[in-house]
Amino acid sequence: MRDYQAGFIREAIRCNALSFGKFTLKSGRISPYFFNAGNFCNGETMSIIGRCYAEAIIESGLDFDMLFGPAYKGIPLAASAAIALNDVFQTKTPFCFNRKEGKTHGEGGVLAGSPLQGKVVIIDDVMTAGIATSQAIEMISSHPDAVVAGVIIGLDRKESTVKDKPAKEFIEQSHGIPVLNIIDIDDILDFLRSSSDMSDFIEPITKYREVFGTRE
């Protein structure tokens, strides 16, 4: 595990963005862990998380011109990643984001930020079924001057969808783009195994992974 991956998990646990217990997901599944990027909600945390995204982007080797943050949680993630790319890697990177409802006054429209153009990397928090990612890809692809270069998410839960196909694989095959992540559920399990005070969470997550996880 890379240092930035372990740092991402540590910070997510510290600020309760990654929590353990019993949670009902949108899919109806009862999960022993939950990831809520909405708890990345202070400057120190966003500085750490933004750097994790930036390191993942640079390590990926993706050729890109700008970042896109889907509303709503992707917006601060894309902004913090752009800041980290500038501060740490001296890469000036514009970013854009969307509104869930179009604005009818002022500049109007659904998009805000830098003009949507060139090779775009989508920055988001988590992938389960891949619905939000597909919507973002369609939005970007509808612009004649923009093309999606890839997707980087914080956490890939590595779960099968109702059609028993991994969301990540579905997105990659449907749109012909790479879907990368900072961490996945297996990284979380590795982290828990190395943390003696968190060993109680290993068994329920492992069992959940066996039932709903993708087959390697």
Under 8 Å between Cβ of 123 and 77: yes
20/208 Cα distance (integer angstroms): 12
- Identified catalytic residue from 103, 119, 158, 175: 103
Q: What is the DSSP letter of 166?
A: B
Q: Cα separation of 119 and 12, whole Å?
A: 29
Q: Are 40 and 46 in contact (CB under 8 A)?
A: yes
Report in angstroms the alpha-carbon separations of 165 from 74, 128, 174, 177: 24, 11, 12, 17
Token couple for 183: 């961490």
The answer to whether 105 is a known catalytic residue is yes
Q: Which of 26, 92, 100, 105 is flagged as catalytic?
A: 105
Active site residues: 103, 105
